[in-house]
Amino acid sequence: MLLAWIIIALILAAIPAALLTVNLPVFQPPPQSTLDSPAPAVSVVIPARNEAQHIRAAAESVLAGTGVTMELIILDDHSTDQTAEIIRALARRDSRIRLCQSTELPEAWCGKQHACWLGAQQAQYELIVFMDADVELAPDALSRMANIMHKHDLPLASGFPRQKTGTFFEKLLIPLMHFVLLGFLPLRRMRKSSNPAYSAGCGQLFIARKSCYMSIGGHSAIRSSRHDGITLPRAFRAAGFTTDLFDATDLASCRMYQSSGQVFNGLAKNATEALAAGSFSFRLWRKVA
């Protein structure tokens, strides 16, 4: 009996291991930009609520971007800390920054989706980058992200930043993000299909084509969602668009959580929607588990 269970366990482990091997050559960072001048134009939208600890580093990393024409729109979602004051001080030194104040949260809306939707409506460029306030970009990140959008004519793409970890449970559990992605989602098939079952992304970093984004209603299409990493690509795919993924390890970094309690609360929230019955990963897992 013990031997039988060992064999079953090995078979179950072999399935994601095999898919991981197939996916790794496909899951690549965007190449260096080869776009001709003029430089691509990008609007960066950051929703921020009580992000005084992170917002300066995030904003400065965006402003240090090279090879792009850029604007930075920060949606202050009723912060009670120094978030707005920090951004105002930066805006006095750099005219590319715009601080916008969120309106009252409408019924049935998640705060982040509302802030992203308001920010996107302020964007003046066709490419819009949505990033969390605790993400920091490399100087060439925006130009390389714009490059992959133009090269493959993508409506939406999402990058998975390098995840900084500190506590034991961060180191133990945060890598599961990549394990689930690369071990259960066939990336080649995903790129050939607009089926919503192949929806995947990382809510920390998205880049969207504004015309496509607005045509589906943008974040208003996922207004009640707390996990845009899955639901935003799903909304695009439900409208017939394709979406893509890329490795953003050398483009961006993020410290998602600061304590074990935050790790468990955050993963529990994500599991509710990220492993929803409509996702390919969950259906595959349900078949083999």
pLDDT digit string, tens, across residues 183-209? 888 999 999 999 999 999 999 999 999
Give the chain's radius of gyration (CA, Å): 19
d(CA 96, CA 94): 5
The DSSP annotation for 176-206 comes to HHHHHHHHH--HHHHHH---GGG----TTEE
Domain boundaries, the chain: 36-288
d(CA 149, CA 207): 8
d(CA 249, CA 87): 26
Helix/strand/coil for 240? coil
pTM (2 d.p.)? 0.87
Span 63-101, pLDDT tens digits? 999 999 999 999 999 999 999 999 999 999 999 999 999
What kind of fold does domain 36-288 have according to CATH?
Spore Coat Polysaccharide Biosynthesis Protein SpsA; Chain A (3.90.550)
Tokens of 259: 């304590």
Residue with tokens 């209603």: 217
